[in-house]
Amino acid sequence: MRQTGLPARRTAHYLLMQITGEGRLVSELIADGALSDLSAEDRARAQRLATEALRGLDRADRMLKPYLKKTPPDHVVNALRLGVIELCGGEAAHGVVNAYVEIVGRNKRTQSMKGLTNAVLRKIAAEGPEGWAKRPVPLTPGWLRQPLVAAWGRDAVVGMEAAHFAGASLDLTVKGDPKTVAKAVGGNVLPTGSVRVTDAGQVSALPGYEAGDWWVQDAAAVIPVKALGDVKGLKVVDLCAAPGGKAMQLAAGGADVTAVDMSERRMARVTQNLSRVGLKARTVVSDAFAFTEKGFDAVLLDAPCSATGTIRRHPDLPYAKDGSEFGMLIDQQARMIDHAVTLLKPGGRLMFCTCSLLPDEGEVQVEEALERHQELEILPIDIPGIDQSWHSDEGGLRLRPDYWPDRGGMDGFYLALLRKPA
């Protein structure tokens, strides 16, 4: 007899093994078909289980530690972690324990640990949600936590970790009146104009999706285009444009938009998104450095980065990465800034931004860019809904997950607006 829920649980276990053991991201695994053999219901369940386990991994490990004399193989550890998440989420112990005992037993190398798995999960079941609630907010893995504490201080990082653990609500960028859309979808209008929806369910089923009234975009990611002000009639290039949220903002504001991205697959998604919301932009599949068209009023450079600001939505990142590639990204960002400046007409503006929490990918990049290009001027950013404390010393804007704690936080982001002399 086939056990209910086993396919989803086995897939969630596979995802955890690949992320924590092989350094792969959920997006990569899904693109490679990790969920393709599952029903729609099981796909959603597998992804939800893996996501919840990643958000609570440190807390799950703290719960398991008293019951393990030594750390078992990763195959068993990840089964136990998933078991903790389900049991502490209120799932019935019988089905959960049997499922993960079977997953452990199917691996020849861990068959002998079925008894251990059963015993440990039974003890966890006895603690249940009450035991889970007693544990502290999960800590960020040390390789990332240490530089964050050095940059922002321990209290700020504790606030970020609380935001990461809570996860992200759904934020919508609206073409028309935010209040009208907020009422239709059961959301709230944020100070910067985004509409935030909690417990949104299926995105495509929300009112206004088919009509193209809005698109999904974190509230922090909206701010770079807002900081450009009135873009109507301006010739603007959006480098590294996928998935297209900022290009859609620019187009909705009346700009003549060129969206550039090196990935044909990602650019197809940009085209689809533009079509759904009824907006137009020229799309170019090209490496940013190979795009040499000049004379733009503005360049929007959302540069490839560590993406450490997106952990609220992508809790796999600190477990799939170890920071070893960040030096290469930082060098690339500097070269991209230099290239972007050449695309501007005299008096044109460069909006540089990254979804990173690391100053080396934000504040430091801009400080060094201003040293390399002493003709550039950094412009003040002042838009509705922005707290004055978010401004950074060099003139940029620093956004963090611990901001707006009573509203559900935001992604970590850095942005700065630079102007080329006329």
Residue 399: both structure tokens together: 């956004």
Query: What is the DSSP code string of 158-219?
Result: HHHHHHHHH---EEEEESS-HHHHHHHHT-EE-TTS-EEESS---GGGSTTTTTT-EEE--H
Residue 246 CA to residue 279 CA, distance in Å, equals 12
Active site residue 88: no
Residue 213 CA to residue 178 CA, distance in Å, equals 10
Residue 175 CA to residue 187 CA, distance in Å, equals 16
Query: What is the DSSP code string of 52-84?
Result: HHHHTHHHHHHHHGGG-SS---HHHHHHHHHHH
Q: Quick one: which of 81, 115, 108, 88 has its CA closest to 13?
A: 81
Instruction: Decide if 350 contacts 236 (C-beta within 8 A).
Output: no
Residue 293 CA to residue 295 CA, distance in Å, equals 7
Place of tokens 């620019």: 250
Partners of 417 in the beta sheet?
Answer: 351, 379
Please tell me whether residue 349 adopts helix, strand or coil conformation: strand
Catalytically active residues, by annotation: 355
